[in-house]
Chain A
């Protein structure tokens, strides 16, 4: 059994850990509110964008001349996966959930004999993937310097993806991120952005007759690159809200566990102190009796 001194030291150390986790939880809670707000505010833009593109693509009948970003390059040999994670740790299963999802997707691609390319956004994802998939990672982007998620950063990623697509470096692009549902639940998502997968169920039957100025395909050519950046931005917003939520619940758990541990250690400490006192008393009494 540990000595009284050791126990005391352990109790203090657990207590100070608890203080740290508690502080982190508070910080995450404050940040979460902001992140959640901006994630919710950002939704109308991406939804509207998506709707307009759906409306436009319905009006395109000539599949062959349609923009490549919409219908793809006609092949599906090279897959580009953009794995979006956080730059900081200590947020529970946030990063591992995304990488787990991504890894199972990678496996599927490699098993079917396709070529795989990976771009990681956020340093944690890179750290987790570099062990097993180092040779596939072509780029690692991190936005450690930017304090908040901003469209400018998302645009950089979007432009890079489009550039690679135009150079025909890949055929299909999928992004991985965590969708924020609530503080306890974040759902890892995979979303294909090139070619654009339009959900047939989304398409309403009463097709509106729009006038286009300039022509449909010209608008689409302009809109699709923007849509990529928008989708990335949306993913980044969702991710940052998820990260804070996940960190908050992880730190909450840690604080609670630390509390339990302190309780257990205190009981143990008191017991062994009492045992020592009793032992001393017995020694005194038996000493007195023997006289």
Chain B
């Protein structure tokens, strides 16, 4: 596998996922989805709520991510996030409680645009999963 690179997904509690044969990762970067292949330029960016797609060989793994920072350098990609869930393991109850959470945030009238955008984005993604 010459065109694969390393991926580490870390959340505060633990190393969530570590793979060394990833061929492509698509992350929901703040300014639009971003696909990362091997030998991508070193980059730091942050994420909005969305779906991370991980391509390994013929398999595709999809994860819901709530926020995060990515760092890519020397063919290793690190994703730091506070909440990440495998789409296959996501439960209906969790989904609706997360949507409610985001709706609560939106009720605040003094919310700045960025936070409002993030909350809206979250509802959008979550209801699509539902």
Task: Tell whether B44 is near chain A: CB-to-CB under 8 Å.
Answer: yes
Determine the distance from Cα of A42 to Cα of B10 in the docked complex, in whole angstroms: 9
Partner of A222, one of B10, B46, B82: B46
A42: which B residues are within 8 A, CB to CB?
12-14
A38 at interface by CB-CB < 8 Å: yes
Interface mask (A178-214 → B, CB under 8 Å = 1, otherwise 0): 0000000000000000000000000000001111111
B43 close to chain A: CB less than 8 A: yes
Q: A222 CA to B71 CA in the complex, in Å?
A: 15
Stretch among A2-10, A19-27, A49-57 lining the B interface: A49-57
Q: Is the CB of B31 within 8 A of A214?
A: yes
Q: Which residues of the partner chain A approach B99 to less than 8 Å between Cβ atoms?
A: none
Asked whether any CB of chain A lies closer than 8 Å to the CB of B26, the reply is no
Binary contact readout B7-25 vs A (1 if CB under 8 angstroms, 0 otherwise): 0101111110000000000
Per the 8 Å Cβ criterion, residues 29-57 of A in contact with B are 38, 41-42, 44-46, 48-49, 51-52, 55-56
Min distance, Cβ B81 to any Cβ of chain A, angstroms? 9
Produce 1/0 per residue, A207-226, CB < 8 A to B: 01111111000010011001
CB of B30 within 8 Å of the partner chain: yes
User: Could you tell me if B29 and A45 are in contact, using CB atoms closer than 8 angstroms?
Assistant: no
CB-based contact A151/B44 at 8 Å: no
Identify B46's interface contact among A51, A150, A209, A219, CB under 8 A.
Answer: A219
* Total chain B interface residues with beta-carbon distance under 8 A: 23
Closest-CB distance, B40 to chain A (whole angstroms): 9
Q: Is A230 an interface residue (CB 8 A)?
A: yes
Chain B residues, CB < 8 A from A230: 12
Q: List B contacts of A233 (CB < 8 A).
A: 12
- Kindly provide the distance from the CB of A49 to the nearest chain B CB, expressed in whole angstroms: 6
Q: Contact at A223–B69, with CB atoms within 8 Å?
A: yes
Say whether B13 contacts A41, CB under 8 Å: yes
On whether the beta carbons of A45 and B43 are closer than 8 Å, the reply is no
B15 pairs with A213, CB closer than 8 A: no
Assuming the contacts A213-B29, A214-B30, asked whether A219 and B12 have C-beta atoms less than 8 A apart, the reply is: no
A149 CB, nearest partner CB in chain B, Å = 9
CB distance from A235 to the nearest CB of B (A): 12
What's the minimum C-beta distance from A190 to chain B, rounded to whole angstroms?
22
- Contact for B43 among A49, A150, A213, A226, CB less than 8 A: A213
Contact B42 A211 (CB under 8 A): yes
Q: Tell me, in angstroms, the Cα distance from A269 to B71 when the chains sit together.
A: 71
B73 adjacent to chain A (CB < 8 Å): yes
Using CB atoms, name the residue of chain B closest to A219: B46
Q: How far is the CB of B71 from chain A (nearest CB, A)?
A: 5
Which residues between 53 and 85 of chain B lie within 8 Å of chain A, taking CB atoms?
69, 71, 73, 78, 80, 82
What residues of chain A lie closer than 8 Å to B10, measured between beta carbons? 44-45, 48
Q: Which residues of A contact B (CB under 8 A)?
A: 38, 41-42, 44-46, 48-49, 51-52, 55-56, 150-151, 154-155, 208-214, 219, 222-223, 226, 230, 233
List 5 interface pairs A-B (beta carbons < 8 Å), by A numbering: A44-B8, A52-B71, A213-B31, A219-B45, A226-B69
**Further pairs besides A44-B10, A49-B69: 8, Cβ < 8 Å:** A42-B12, A52-B69, A56-B44, A154-B12, A208-B73, A211-B42, A214-B31, A222-B46
